[in-house]
Amino acid sequence: MWRGSIAYAVLERIQSFPARSKAPIVVTLILTLTLVTFAQTKPRARDLGVPFDGTPGANNAITDVKGVEVGHTTLILGSGKLEIGKGPVRTGVTAIHPRGKTSNDAVFAAWFTLNGNGEMTGTTWVEDSGFLNGPVMITNTHSVGVVRDAVIAWKVKHGTPDMEGYWWSLPVVAETWDGWLNDINGFHVHAEDAFHALDVAHSGPVEEGNVGGGTGMVCNEFKGGIGTSSRVLDAKAGAYTVGVLVQCNYGRRDQLRIAGVPVGKEIPDHPAYGKSDDTGSIIVIVATDAPLIPTQLKRIARRVSLGLGRDGSYSGDGSGDIFLAFSTANPGAVGTKGLHQLTMLPNDSLDPMFLATVQATEEAVVNAMVAAETMTGVDNHEVIALPHDRLREILRKYNRLQTGVR
């Protein structure tokens, strides 16, 4: 799926270039696809021996919640000096369908902002109605508008009104800023890129790192991007699944902690920005199949903050830390006629859900950094990947390396 996303993104752009310019781009595409094939087999955080609490689902991804699908469009073009409108381009779009791309059934949802220096459209209606109707999209800061409009066009094309019968939409589109690596003012994300992310969304393993909306993102001054994780509760807690997906673009190097270890202080070289403030943002989406109503989902969304705290975030003034949680239980709840019979967990049964959210958030961020690869973008800004070997050495130094792993 990811290979198709990148091929689509590059080939679409090639068509508009002069013939003399196409050959080197085709070569770049071939090299990119080769790297993608390799990337699909690269390790995740647990494979490196990073210890995490809790039991993950089969894919250790948000898609372990039945029905959830994730798709990406990844845009990588050009190099060298920034020329606004031309590149370099390091950006994209990520789409999350709560019940799959063919469903028109809204889900109970809630959102929470830990620090508001960011954007997530559509949240005022999520707050008032308690429902999320349609996909959640994530992109860069200056592409929110085009992606929002594209979602409406995509829904109109599919020819069905919302569950209440109205031909209208208030899409949820979130952002983080990728201007350190991407020509963000060149507006390289187009409607067709959003359409593609929506159309290629799939269940199963989720592509991580330099993909989709996370393509040009930076996390703790290492390369960041998309990451995901999940937790399955034990049988006595209902055997429910909690899945988390992050687009991480936040944090200071010296604050990064992995498995309780001050990894950022141990690897101080090659910081991305070279300044002391917390630059960037993070979007976190939490999915669960547990029967929760919006007030309970609001409580779940707040717990994301504690997972980020485990990784060293203090949610700085310049960081937009915005979270949304939804439940795929109670299908048909948004219907307009008659009484609705709903199920919900009692509040005193939520502790395992809270803990699972914290654990999955902590791991999703680390998975994003482990999957990401070193990237050079505008004006030759280079952001290094979290070095796997050094991470293992540091965990071993602090007696935190999980044994039995390569």
Hey, which residues are catalytic here?
281, 319, 321
Of 207, 95, 206, the residue nearest 151 (C-alpha): 95
- CA separation for the pair 23, 369 (Å, rounded): 32
Which is it for the CA torsion 25, 148, 383, 307, positive or negative? negative
- CA separation for the pair 57, 42 (Å, rounded): 19
- CA separation for the pair 200, 215 (Å, rounded): 17
Q: Are 99 and 105 in contact (CB under 8 A)?
A: yes
SS (HEC) of the chain: CHHHHHHHHHHHHHCCCCHHHHHHHHHHHHHHHHHHHHHCCCCCCHHHCCCCCCCCCCCCCHHHCCCCEEEEEEEEECCCCCECCCECEEEEEEEEECCCCCCCCCEEEEEEEEEECCCECCHHHHHHHCEECCCEEEEEHHHHHHHHHHHHHHHHHCCCCCCCCCCCCCCEEEEECCCCCCCHHHCCCCHHHHHHHHHHCECCCCCCECCHHHCCCEECCEECEEEEEEEECCHHHCCCEEEEEEEEECCCHHHCCECCECHHHHCCCCCCCCCCCCCCEEEEEEEECCCCCHHHHHHHHHHHHHHHHHCCCCCCCCCEEEEEEEECCCCCCCCCCCCCCCCCCCHHHCHHHHHHHHHHHHHHHHHHHHHCCCEECHHHCEECCCCHHHHHHHHHHCCCCCCCCC
- CA separation for the pair 281, 364 (Å, rounded): 15
